[in-house]
Amino acid sequence: MSLTNCNVSLLAYTPEPEALICLAARRCRSDKATLDIDTDGAERVIKRVIEAGHLSVLEHVNFTFAVDGISRVCLAQLTRHRIASFSVQSQRTATVNDYVAPRGLVCIGVDRDIRCYKEELDAGFEHEDARYLLPQAVATSLVMTMNARALLHFFELRCCRKAQWEIRELANQMLKLVKPIAPNIFKNAGAFCSQNGYCRETAPCGKMNVPHKDFLFELYQFWEREKNK
């Protein structure tokens, strides 16, 4: 039994992702045959579609990640994201050895539970039954695919300082991997406030130096009142 760290790698991605998005966006308005559409100036096109919220063109581009060493706590949050594909290590076949826990947490209970689980395996119980003894801290591995639109949304929610630390760490690692591959798509990617320039949280972290949406509405209403005086 051991404490493990989250390890993320990029397994595969759609080739020339930004050119493809540019082509898809231009397809909508061009008279040309699709293969005759040029993809110069992808940076400008991508900026425009993201700013305008015409995000469906981002769905043509996929990224596949290998994720090792996240807890089942993190997995439960991750798989709430429905616009994604997951292949997760099965506890019906694989024997659990590792776990993830916050720094400083006393893990005697986790160690004991995993020991009991292994004793039941040794006693002849099937993995699918012995696993009922396992705590949420146990580590798992998976392969996950998301398209660029779903990823931007995932980053908005999970890179936010209000997100739980483990999934935030995972999201930040994923962002680091995709940014060099598609720098224009992920230029402002990150927490909602970095993508949108304001915060919408009901209890803001107060650390990001951006206005809250309530403040912006108040400011706008104030401006409307002053203008009409």
Catalytic residues: 158
Count how many Cα atoms sit within 13 Å of the Cα of residue 144 in the half-sphere of its side chain. Answer: 27
Nearer of residues 13 and 154 to ligand FAD, judged by Cβ: 154
Q: Are 69 and 5 in contact (CB under 8 A)?
A: yes
Site residues for ligand FAD, 124-153, by CB under 6 A, read: 150, 153
CB of 12 to ligand FAD, least distance (A): 20
CB of 82 to ligand FAD, least distance (A): 3
- For residue 149 the two structure tokens come to 């639109």
Contact partners, residue 165, CB within 8 Å, separation at least 6: 102
Nearer of residues 77 and 130 to ligand FAD, judged by Cβ: 77
Q: How far does CA 68 lie from the centroid of its chain?
A: 15
Nearer of residues 117 and 154 to ligand FAD, judged by Cβ: 154
CB of 162 to ligand FAD, least distance (A): 5
Distance CA 134, CA 132 (A): 6
Q: What is the SS3 assignment for 228? A: coil
Choose, by CB under 6 A, the member of 12, 28, 83, 116 that binds ligand FAD.
83
**H helices present in 29-186, as ranges:** 42-52, 72-78, 108-122, 127-130, 148-158, 165-178
Site string for ligand FAD, 35-74 (x = CB under 6 A): ----------------------------------------
CB of 123 to ligand FAD, least distance (A): 36
Nearer of residues 59 and 111 to ligand FAD, judged by Cβ: 59
Distance CA 92, CA 21 (A): 40
Choose, by CB under 6 A, the member of 29, 82, 207, 225 that binds ligand FAD.
82
| CA 174 to each of CA 33, 43, 148, 182, 201: distance values in angstroms, whole numbers, following the listed order | 36, 21, 12, 12, 23
Site residues for ligand FAD, 155-174, by CB under 6 A, read: 157, 162-163
Nearer of residues 127 and 161 to ligand FAD, judged by Cβ: 161
- Residues that bind ligand FAD in the complex, under the rule CB under 6 A: 80-83, 150, 153, 157, 162-163
